[in-house]
Amino acid sequence: MIPIPYELVAARIVFGALLVIYVVVEGGIRIASQRNAEGAPARERVSYGVLIVVLLGSMAAALFLARSGDFAIPVGRWAFFAVGVVLMALGIALRVWAVVVLGRAFTVEVRVRAGQEVVDRGPYRVVRHPSYTGLLLVFLGTGLALGDWLALIVVVVPPIAAIAFRIRIEEEALLAGLGDAYRRYSAGRKRLVPGIW
């Protein structure tokens, strides 16, 4: 039996721990959302289902593809891994921060409460959907940490499309529910990436 280098064991532990933390955080977000959803009718649920299916499918496919090693990044793999795990950690932190700042206004289903105000503090000062920015950082980091070009594409491109679809639905609801206040807020910041989109 060939011994596994300790660096590889440590990398697997770090990567696995971040994935577990991400799953636990997402579970907590779902619980918080259910608590916050009381009293506000859902305006739309389909895009959330699409998003979940795409995210789970992309992550599973990326993990499967990376195991083969057929499209492994040939050089600098440890650098990609290091950048990847940092992005995963930053993405998780940003996602949690965004949810905490929204407080009772946060739900995973599209809902606008009566009397709800536009939140423009914390990460919402910079982008309109920092929770999704954090989510994309987690998935981008996962792809980089896996060290596989095909896995990187699979774990990033479909989630970007699903999140863009979800944002369109959310923004229609926010404009309908919050009106000019959200329109003014939107005019001052990009959706996901400062200065880009």
Residue 14, phi then psi, degrees to nearest 5: -60, -50
- Please give the pLDDT value at position 113: 73
Report the predicted TM-score, pTM, of the whole model to 2 decimal places.
0.87
- Residue 73 gets which letter from DSSP? -
> What is the average per-residue pLDDT within 9-14?
82
CA-based nearest residue to 135, from 81, 177, 192: 192
Handedness of CA 99, 168, 155, 195 (dihedral sign): negative
| 117-153 pLDDT per residue, tens | 888 899 999 999 999 999 999 999 999 999 989 999 9
Rounded CA separation 72/70 (Å): 6
* 3-state SS, residue 193: coil
| 161-172 pLDDT per residue, tens | 999 999 998 898
Express as a percent the part of the chain with pLDDT over 90.
42
Q: Are 37 and 110 in contact (CB under 8 A)?
A: no
**pLDDT over threshold 80, residue 16:** yes
| 34-55 pLDDT per residue, tens | 777 776 556 667 788 888 999 9
Rounded CA separation 55/139 (Å): 9
- The CATH architecture that domain 6-187 belongs to is Up-down Bundle (1.20)
- Please give the pLDDT value at position 9: 73
Rounded CA separation 56/143 (Å): 14
Task: Please count the CA atoms within 13 angstroms of the CA of 119 that sit on its side-chain side.
Answer: 22
